Structure 1
């Protein structure tokens, strides 16, 4: 009876207020106090506000009331489960883009924290219901406010819900909203939230928070459309290859056994090695291990001096940091690419409706949603993970221009940057786990969704993988101080150079890998190449492409030039040119020396003067150490002279030499 009397008084007041042009401060405060005390009055007040907002003459009165509720009601509400009764008012506040959303977002964040703290065995359904209503208010804000006004506070609210809210459905929906807020600009985001109106031609509840009241997407089976997708959807490398390898070396085992040859496998289980040795020792027949060569004499007993002992210690420490990919995750090689697509052919082929003529900026461009890129290869790259791109805008027509001044104040799409073109390119990182350092080709397939609900599945042009993609820095033991890293790399280069140069240095020594099960041995190969290129060009190319792998710079002239440029840093500097060769004392005569220069004398020319004018002094040496996953190495010693450079190459994976010649020519002679 008391409530009916209060309802009657309230309706009488409302009828009189409709004829008044302004609200008194006292009456507005009275409405706030009544809602705080009697939550059952909230639907009546909401209905009255809807009538004011629906009237063109009194629309401003409804907005004024909502502003009052935002300023006076939100700070006074009590944080308990009854707060949900005020959500109809909160929905109206969220719909009004003239009211800053900061107060409401702070209140909703506190309420979500309250729901998480009070959650228990008896509150499961209540937590789901009220958490869903909070997300419904968030959706209303996304529909009526620019993303830039909401981003900071709303992203914190959604991130908290993703991590800590007890209900799985609420967490998933919050994660979807958060991804949309981060990746999709405002107009496109509002179109996505209103998809059911475009598809079904009906008007759902304006305060629904469900994602699943739209029709199922349609998969396209038009082969003509799918065949030409690669002509306007492009996946491209960020850094082009120096050498685009059109072939790769593949050696057959000629049917001898089922195991891979040693130069491919490179890793053996320590238990298997011990059992093989026991079998050989206990057999009366002569047996040859797979790693032995036919006719190779038995290795004599070696006397290990301090130098060899130091080399083996350095190598054991290094190999103990290399993971055995058979028993644990191996080393990854990353290839950075970008994905883009052209707007005009995309609209023409997939029938995306042209936007209204009054729209500007990114709203006029098509978009691809929930794109998945899948990769495969016949090369030994292991399992390649797919890459997901939530949202991507199409590139504007070449004769058109998307003006930055006309763009709405929304969050810029994926990978915004200072360059205008960066807004229409999505970064893609392809991670490979090579079983062998070899070039190859990645096959790329795409699955994406257009704005009109069509699912597109097609093949894109492949991505070439070059030998330079396999170049990694050697792993540093975790206990090595930062200031000691240059010395460690220099010592490691010297140890590997010795091990790959003379078999007697390490013999049949094996080195345990990280994980304790696998062991590896070094079987070195060496080569040499003369580059007729000026020293300045060679130094510039080395600094541009190989700076991360330089471990030592030797020789005073070369050290001065490289130090002054400032590109190569944190390496071992040696001014004494006599130290240029790590194995100068043991190298064969003439092989490890500098390049040979022949001088010709014209008739009547003084030989002594000509020698002075044409002599070319050695400036110094670069020592370059490159790690090739899963466990191999490539070493360069560049003996730099004025007009030519001698490159000595050593490696423990001889098949890679098939690609190095083309790489060096493209690097220094192109």
Structure 2
């Protein structure tokens, strides 16, 4: 009992001395280190660190002098017997104060203190389980990478945050300690840098990268209905080198001009005014009835929402893909030098880091942005891995808990800005890093872009209410249908695009396909693949069948007998009708009771 009291008195005395005399911090840290190095007295050193965590941290003042306690904070971060929540809370408050006090004369001090805080965060990630740190540390790093005034500190915080979110615990600790294990690498003199060692510069092995497409796969999430393996691109038709390599269907709207060449070779341009065009028409005047006028109004409104890709960002399509790689051939080729001792489950699987996918295409898809993947685990062997081993992951996404394969696939989104609605191929290049620092680069299998990827719903004008969208879609469809008629008077009309600089014209034909298949098979196929693009269903038998399916909603329903549009909110099933009737009955009963 006497010894316990003496230890408590000593602990309280050390805390008070540390708070009052900050110059004693190095002496106290040396004393703690000696206790931790001694096998018999290690428990006393850990107990002393716990005392600092409970009594020193809450009393510490949040100002620049807090940096003098950083050696103690480092010892607390290195010891996994001390919970990290108190230290993370104090460091978060300190970072907030640095942001608030930042000024023209505090740039170097902010960089130094911010880097030291990140050094303590790195120590925490090495010695503590990620699941215990995740909430507090992610908040600290997120605030730092968003608001800290120094760019280098923000970038390092962003890297740490991405690693904390994406990399499992053992692999995270391995990559943070990787520099100390590399031979021939001298420690960096800057202890506040991202890694405490100089980064190696491994060379690319081109021979190993030749066949990476056999075990690294980028695949479409939704396969194409129509298979193809070709790409169509048209050569440049213009003389100038700045002309695009595809057909232009858009032209600038320019006033008509009349060129008058003089005898001496000079030329002058005469702009024909609207009055002169009426007095001296170049072509016969057209008589336009109210129906054609209404169609033109609908089409002008429709095309005014479509951006002119030559002067502003155009329409974009997105293709969802997934990246995965197979562990066994990857290990045979790249042979990660990770020690296999004490590793099982996902910790024994290979991983790739900082993956960059770049895309290119000969088809007119515009500039395709690259895609970055911070971390990806290899697919385990089918016969050497069980779902029970997945428990070694420190952090498991909740939404993927029931889908084991999702842990070994990274979602990839390819964003295209097509100039023409044509199919094609997108070539894919990969550059990534193995766990042992090797750089992997090469070509993957191309991604096929089908005509079905070009299907986009019409852009809704801003003044269209939500309940008016089905009617607007139906009007646009019928206007385009009429405009594609060979006898239509809209063939010579041009329609301004969004931005007011370009105009386009309609050049198409009507097409009706007769399919010799059972009606229900066709209906189910349309419901599965074309439901978002159906604007109207006509005929009472067909309306009943499609409504009962439930896949096609919020469209114009037309009864063939009365040819009248039905309410899109009308209940479909008997259950819906009974629910509506019961709601009305309950309302009447409530009114009577009141």
Q: Of 42, 50, 58, which residue of structure 1 is paired with 2:33? A: 50
**Counterpart in 2 of 1:97?**
80
Residues 414, 426 of structure 1: 8 Å contact kept: no
Q: Distance in 2 between matches of 1:130 and 1:262?
A: 54
Q: Of 347, 352, 367, which residue of structure 2 is paired with 1:383? A: 367
Q: What are the superposed Cα offsets for residues 492-530 of structure 1, whole Å, 9 maximum, x if unpaired?
A: 111111111245331311111111101111112223321
Residues 323, 514 of structure 1: 8 Å contact kept: yes
**Counterpart in 2 of 1:231?**
214
Residues 199, 215 of structure 1: 8 Å contact kept: no
1:245-260 matches, cutoff 5 A: 245-247=228-230
Q: What are the superposed Cα offsets for residues 436-491 of structure 1, whole Å, 9 maximum, x if unpaired?
A: 11111111111111111111111111111111111111111122111111111111
Q: Of 243, 248, 266, which residue of structure 1 is paired with 2:249? A: 266
Q: Of 494, 497, 504, which residue of structure 1 is paired with 2:488? A: 504
Q: 1:363 to 1:23 in 2, by over 3 A?
A: farther
Residues 345, 392 of structure 2: 8 Å contact kept: yes
Q: What are the superposed Cα offsets for residues 531-555 of structure 1, whole Å, 9 maximum, x if unpaired?
A: 1111111111111100111111111
Residues 373, 410 of structure 2: 8 Å contact kept: yes
Residues 233, 363 of structure 2: 8 Å contact kept: no
Q: Of 546, 559, 572, which residue of structure 2 is paired with 1:575? A: 559
Residues 503, 524 of structure 1: 8 Å contact kept: no
Q: Distance in 2 between matches of 1:209 and 1:202?
A: 17
- In the alignment, structure 1 residue 460 sits paired with structure 2 residue 456: no
SS state at 1:526 partner: coil
What's the offset of the Cα at 1:409?
4.8
Q: Of 106, 110, 131, which residue of structure 2 is paired with 1:148? A: 131
Q: Distance in 2 between matches of 1:523 and 1:73?
A: 79
What's the offset of the Cα at 1:85?
0.7
Q: Distance in 1 between matches of 2:244 and 2:316?
A: 23
Q: 1:202 to 1:311 in 2, by over 3 A?
A: closer
- Unaligned residue ranges in structure 2 (runs of 5+): 268-281, 566-594
**Counterpart in 2 of 1:286?**
none
1:62-461 matches, cutoff 5 A: 62-200=45-183, 208-212=191-195, 213-223=197-207, 225-247=208-230, 264-271=247-254, 274-275=255-256, 278-279=258-259, 300-353=284-337, 355-405=339-389, 407-412=391-396, 416=400, 418-461=402-445
- In the alignment, structure 1 residue 520 sits paired with structure 2 residue 504: yes
Residues 315, 495 of structure 1: 8 Å contact kept: yes
SS state at 1:337 partner: strand
Q: Distance in 2 between matches of 1:132 and 1:359?
A: 32
Residues 393, 413 of structure 1: 8 Å contact kept: no
**Counterpart in 2 of 1:543?**
527
**Counterpart in 1 of 2:588?**
none
Residues 237, 247 of structure 2: 8 Å contact kept: no
SS state at 1:530 partner: coil
Q: Distance in 1 between matches of 2:417 and 2:72?
A: 55
Q: What are the superposed Cα offsets for residues 105-126 of structure 1, whole Å, 9 maximum, x if unpaired?
A: 1111110010111111221111
1:619-630 matches, cutoff 5 A: none
Residues 556, 575 of structure 1: 8 Å contact kept: yes
SS state at 1:531 partner: coil
Greater displacement, 560-569 / 208-217: 208-217
**Counterpart in 1 of 2:278?**
none
Q: Distance in 2 between matches of 1:553 and 1:88?
A: 74
Residues 323, 409 of structure 2: 8 Å contact kept: yes
What's the offset of the Cα at 1:403?
3.4
Q: 1:174 to 1:255 in 2, by over 3 A?
A: closer
Residues 382, 434 of structure 1: 8 Å contact kept: yes
Q: Distance in 2 between matches of 1:21 and 1:386?
A: 63
SS state at 1:528 partner: coil
Q: 1:532 to 1:38 in 2, by over 3 A?
A: same
What's the offset of the Cα at 1:258?
9.2
Greater displacement, 530-539 / 397-406: 397-406
Q: 1:248 to 1:452 in 2, by over 3 A?
A: closer
What's the offset of the Cα at 1:41?
1.3
SS state at 2:340 partner: coil
Q: What are the superposed Cα offsets for residues 173-220 of structure 1, whole Å, 9 maximum, x if unpaired?
A: 111111111111111111111111221377959994423523423122
Q: 1:209 to 1:259 in 2, by over 3 A?
A: closer
Q: 1:263 to 1:342 in 2, by over 3 A?
A: closer
Q: 1:338 to 1:415 in 2, by over 3 A?
A: farther
Residues 78, 123 of structure 2: 8 Å contact kept: yes
Q: Distance in 2 between matches of 1:255 and 1:319?
A: 26
Q: 1:206 to 1:539 in 2, by over 3 A?
A: farther
What's the offset of the Cα at 1:50?
1.2
What's the offset of the Cα at 1:557?
1.2
Q: Distance in 2 between matches of 1:254 and 1:139?
A: 58
Q: What are the superposed Cα offsets for residues 246-277 of structure 1, whole Å, 9 maximum, x if unpaired?
A: 44566679889999899931111112xx24x5
Q: Distance in 2 between matches of 1:255 and 1:135?
A: 57
Aligned residue pairs: how many? Answer: 546
1:474-623 matches, cutoff 5 A: 474-576=458-560
Q: What are the superposed Cα offsets for residues 100-146 of structure 1, whole Å, 9 maximum, x if unpaired?
A: 21111111111001011111122111111111111111111111111
Q: Distance in 1 between matches of 2:562 and 2:259?
A: 49
Residues 449, 455 of structure 1: 8 Å contact kept: yes
What's the offset of the Cα at 1:40?
1.0
TM-score (norm 2): 0.86
Q: What are the superposed Cα offsets for residues 319-338 of structure 1, whole Å, 9 maximum, x if unpaired?
A: 11101000011111111111
TM-score (norm 1): 0.76
